[in-house]
Structure 1
């Protein structure tokens, strides 16, 4: 009964326009005070404990480095480099956007940040090549989702910190599923471009233009190598490499590409702090809620129920996928992860699902949530960038949504996609 009241109250506060972090804190702290008579000082210590983690220090650094790399014309530099090779395909520029999104995904670790980084340049380039504004906006929104799967994913940092899993393992687990999603997205882009007659096709790759563009793009292209390579080689922890990435990004935009001055660096730092505070606020509230649910014994009761009911992995995963697609209509990705991870991971373990595989599945579901109305963040980001109504972008996303679901099914059905590199 207490859980039901808490859920109803939480939904009511969110529906009233209160930010989910504040709503979580109000509900959890209120119940801990009233129902369990816990002293306020202990509530404060519990909240602080939810963010007092070395791994979580990586979040502000990755956000800062990603925001820095989004400044200037770096997206256009990378897209022109890739387009010089793939323009021989129908829809080559759109394909270049899809491939370039992998680079930005490997830089900022965020779906929204990836879409923001690609958006301004792609919105100028694609319509000039004969693509409709709606298709262009939808493609950028979908490409941005790769930022959650390809390391350094903020999703994996959150999951690892909350559940207590090695974040480097999660990063590595996301590589093949991320490449699979990119392959499906690239294939769908070419097919849709052919169907609607989008794009200007060249006879063959322009290797001369590629060689000319490569030197200017090489500094930016080394960024994902620095991040993924050093983690995979075991040279740095994700937290250490996040600080290194922030320094490298600052040097690039300040001294190499000169797309930002010291004032712009300061502005970027302020924006990054605001984004970090939002994430930490949700973690504080969810930490209190998790402590309350632990006292109520909800996770333990659900785990025992699932074990006694002899639920098969297939039925469990089918239920979780349907449930989280619905939940993703109303909650952002960070809220989904911090609210549901403490409950779902023990259940997944109870039905013999590898927790690393399940982390990749959860991340794939969060990716889909960023495209699912009415709360899909990438839809609103692209609406703001392109000035198109949200409903037009939703219509453009629909074919790609089907592609995303195919990827989700494959990630669920083939655990080795997530576990092969471990």
Structure 2
């Protein structure tokens, strides 16, 4: 019992002090092991074995492919193509941002990468069209959230590994919720565009323009078809698809679009390596933390407490969804999934909750946390791109967070949405 209290209190204190989550988890695990008389080598052994997994290899590969796509000109051509459909609408640029984020998400697997790639181009464009700058940044930050809801998705891979769920099924499950969220966001963007008096792009719909931009973006659009098509047809695994995504994005950016140069490549590799390294360190310490939770039987106690609240699975899912929204404000997405998924799923499965549906609840709940301070990663990326202080974005993002929560509620209550494409 003493070790349990040491684990909980040390984690709380380290997070309160602002220590990065990876190190906060590692420190709390070490102190708990020392208090419980368990050899400290436990942390090293678990850290090594947690990364000794073929599916985890997909994470650094998707991060690298996203960075290559961002630099290689893929995002600009996607935006031009989407705008050919929406340019005649008052909300055309805002809608184009959401749709471009959804397409880029299908080849990057990363939420911050999607915000950076699309937002860097669309925030100035939306501001020129009459959007408030903080509104333009908020649209980009929220649309970028589709980066982990539309497959391939790094958090989906982590959930599948943590709960022994099929990665392929998780990827298939992402399409239904993504469609719901896109519809909600487009409706909100339309209302805001009217309210702020946004101008159109002064271009009517032209089928010739659609064909022209579509032809220019053909290599960008082929990416999702190649990556996801290969997974769903069984030609290659999700990890192999990540490797193919890296090779494909490198070839397209370097020799077809010629916007990725040898001079830019070292910076791309450094940036993606730092990002991947951060995620992998979190996985190491979070896995050890999750193992201690199992060792100390915290999951059993927590499970009994949850069931004590209600034995109705719908009520429990709503309670957990609320819990995830709260936790997401101060914990990073990867950490939430690795720590909480193995605790919560065993409690819910006997009540008939589908693990794939619950996986989408976890991913979307954690994703909404990326829009809320103090750990709102998407907010920080949008702030960096737009040059706006976080305080301004905090206020502007509120309607978008409420919109995401409304869509989230629909997805939680209707499991058919998550299971629409799952066999």
> Which stretch shows the higher mean deviation, 73-82 or 287-296?
73-82
For the 8 Å contact 1:307–1:350, the answer to whether it is kept is no
Question: Which residue of structure 2 lines up, in the alignment, with residue 181 of structure 1?
Answer: 181
Corresponding residue for residue 386 of structure 2:
386
Deviation at 1:308, TM superposition (A): 6.8
Partner SS, residue 236 of structure 2: coil
- Alignment pair present for 1:15 and 2:13: no
Q: Secondary structure at the match of 1:262?
A: coil
For 2:227 and 2:179, locate their aligned partners in 1 and report how far apart those are by CA, in whole Å: 17
Answer whether contact 1:333 1:370 (CA < 8 A) is retained. yes
Deviation at residue 338 of structure 1 after TM alignment:
1.6
| 2:205 paired residue number | 205
Structure 2 counterparts to residues 74-85 of structure 1, below 5 A? 74-85=74-85
Structure 2, gaps ≥5 residues long: none
Find the counterpart in structure 2 of residue 351 from structure 1: 351
For residues 276-306 of structure 1, the C-alpha deviation after alignment (integer angstroms, 9 at most, x for no partner) is 1111111111111112111111113333555
- Displacement of 1:161: 1.0
Normalised TM-score (structure 2): 0.95
Q: Which residue pairs with 2:39 in the alignment?
A: 39
In structure 2, what is the Cα distance between the partners aligned to 1:29 and 1:155? 26
| Secondary structure of residue in 2 paired with 1:156 | helix
Shift of 1:262: 2.0
Partners of 2:338 and 2:135 in 1: how far apart?
Answer: 33
For residues 127 and 192 of structure 1, what CA distance do their matches in structure 2 show? 13
Query: What is the match of residue 321 of structure 2?
Result: 321
How far is 1:38 from its partner? 2.8
* In structure 1, distance between residues paired with 2:308 and 2:135: 49
Give structure 1 stretches of 5+ with no counterpart.
none
Aligned residue in 1 for 2:126: 126
Instruction: Give how far 1:4 is off.
Output: 3.7
Inter-partner Cα distance in structure 2 for 1:93 and 1:172: 28
Deviation for aligned residue 1:62: 0.4
Distance (whole Å) between structure 1 residues aligned to residue 191 and residue 233 of structure 2: 37
TM-score, structure 1 normalization: 0.95
Cross-structure match for 2:28: 27
Bigger drift between 357-366 and 198-207 goes to: 198-207
| Aligned residue in 2 for 1:296 | 296
- Counterpart mapping for 1:106-145 below 5 A: 106-145=106-145
2:156 is matched with which residue? 156
Please, what is the CA RMSD of the aligned residues?
A: 1.7
SS at match of 1:228: helix
Indicate conservation of the 8 Å contact 1:307/1:351, yes or no: no
Corresponding residue of 1:405: 405
Task: Give the aligned partner of residue 342 of structure 1.
Answer: 342
CA change 1:220–1:29 in 2 (3 A) is same
CA contact (8 A) 2:174 2:360 kept: yes
Shift of 1:96: 0.9
- Map of 1:63 onto structure 2: 63
SS at match of 2:52: coil
Q: Secondary structure at the match of 1:180?
A: helix
For 2:278 and 2:284, the matched residues in 1 are separated by 10
**Residue 334 of structure 1: how far off its partner (Å):** 1.3
